[in-house]
Chains A and B, each alone.
Chain A
């Protein structure tokens, strides 16, 4: 269980009671296996082996226990909406009929407490008419993992025999669009390649919500993929897209990565775990019932995401006492890396995504491995929106004032 002093400086008063914390989002790993074997996958190919000891599909008893724990968590926090994300592995391996039944069980289980809002993050290769019917009937939002045209996608997203999956994903994506559903695309940034071409490819497919993920590397592993320490492949990929999106596309194509950066430089809060260093507000339930903090932390080492809890025994809020590190990360947010003190983007970037800060020597007390890339992106957004760092600070103050006034009685 991880415990890094560098990340935990200051007194700990984690809001475990639930009453004073933000709502949680619940990530359910309904399948611990995948029909693909993507080379960069943080579940299978980054050094964590916990998946091997887990059931392939979440047993019914585990799901039922998870429903009960989610209900209790919502009661504790008072949240009236519960974001439920079916995740994996490949969640479609659980089967459409089973997932449909589970959606209904979740609705019944949360009745009178919170409304479940469902989403699924899938590789898209198993989507058929039965799945489409379930997505529609159960109002499940669909995210499809796809990296671009076949030449880019098939370089990473391969099956267990090394064969590219682009054609199968395309079939699934087309079926969804033909059925009138609007899948969102989640794309891992390749460390070489034409960003604008990739972005335009998605747009040409009719995708109107495209998100880009910074590749999952730590300070221990990045050098193997990016030997030149001066290289900024993420920025190189994204900068032309940022410019075009800001100038032409933002109204018709949503790119949450860019919108979040725009919100942050305009004084807004962090709404994504990639930036801002706020509380994660996310808990994961593995197929065997294990409660985990941020699942992507497994790229930092075997078992790093584990909290030692299970929905079969424990409430989500017990993370706060079981693991100070996970508790702080989920409910409070950990300390900004000391390397970021004095950085003009400290309060917007916040040190970047937690797993990308990790080194064996200093734990999470490092700037992101993508620091130089992120600074370029924030700089580009500032240029596009004509917002200085000083203006961001004054906007943050204004919005805080506005929030404080919200709670005051209105004047006659």
Chain B
């Protein structure tokens, strides 16, 4: 599919610009890093299992505030 065809497809389905999606990914990871505080316990390469990531509502609210600080360094 050509770039042009891809752009038309994006407009047709009403999706956001692609770069916007990558930005949303960045924000989402920021939120998880602050709120969920990923455990340093690591997952085995040969399984799909990962350590548990407990998330409380309070933690997520706090993350929204703190991620804003991280977000201030966003260049995208």
- A residues sitting closer than 8 Å to B (CB atoms) are 22-25, 27, 42, 81, 83, 85, 87, 117, 119, 121, 141, 143, 184-186, 209, 211, 213, 246-248, 250-251, 256, 259, 262-263, 266-274, 276, 278-282, 295-296, 353, 384-387, 391, 394-395, 398-399, 402-403, 406
Contacts and interface: CB of A to CB of B under 8 A. Distances in A.
Contact of A213 (B21, B46, B70): B46
A272 B25 contact: no
Contact of A121 (B15, B24, B25, B48): B48
B56 interface: no
Contact of A25 (B28, B32, B40, B51): B51
A269 B38 contact: yes
Contacts of B25: 246, 250, 262, 384-385
A268 B22 contact: no
B3 interface: no
Interface in B37-51: 37-51
24 contacts: A25-B41, A25-B43, A81-B52, A83-B49, A83-B52, A87-B47, A119-B47, A119-B49, A185-B48, A186-B48, A248-B18, A262-B25, A262-B29, A263-B33, A267-B33, A271-B38, A273-B43, A296-B45, A384-B22, A385-B25, A387-B26, A394-B73, A395-B73, A406-B37
A398 B70 contact: yes
Contacts of B18: 247-248
Contact of B50 (A262, A271, A384, A394): A271
Which secondary structure dominates where chain A touches chain B? Answer: mixed
A402 B30 contact: no
A398 B44 CA distance: 27
Contacts of B28: 250-251
B42 A279 contact: yes
A248 B66 contact: no
A187 B61 CA distance: 36
Contacts of A281: 40-42
B51 A83 contact: yes
B48 A25 contact: no
A112 B48 CA distance: 27
Given A121-B47, A247-B21, A385-B22, A268 B38 contact: yes
B29 A186 contact: no
A395 B70 contact: yes
B46 A280 contact: no
Interface string B7-33: 000000001001101101110111011
Nearest to B76: A386
Nearest to A284: B44
A295 B46 contact: yes
Q: B18, B41, B48: which has the most chain A beta carbons within 10 Å?
A: B48
A273 B48 contact: no
Given A22-B40, A266-B29, A385-B76, A143 B34 contact: no
Contacts of A141: 48-49
Given A262-B29, A398-B70, A271 B48 contact: no
A111 to B, nearest CB: 18
B21 A246 contact: yes
A62 to B, nearest CB: 20
Closest 7 CB pairs of A and B: A386-B76, A143-B48, A184-B48, A247-B18, A119-B49, A268-B33, A121-B47
Given A268-B33, A385-B25, A386-B76, A85 B47 contact: yes
B74 interface: yes
A183 to B, nearest CB: 9
Contacts of A27: 44, 47
Given A121-B49, A385-B25, A386-B74, 9 more contacts: A27-B47, A83-B52, A247-B19, A256-B43, A263-B38, A268-B29, A279-B42, A282-B44, A353-B45
B48 A119 contact: yes
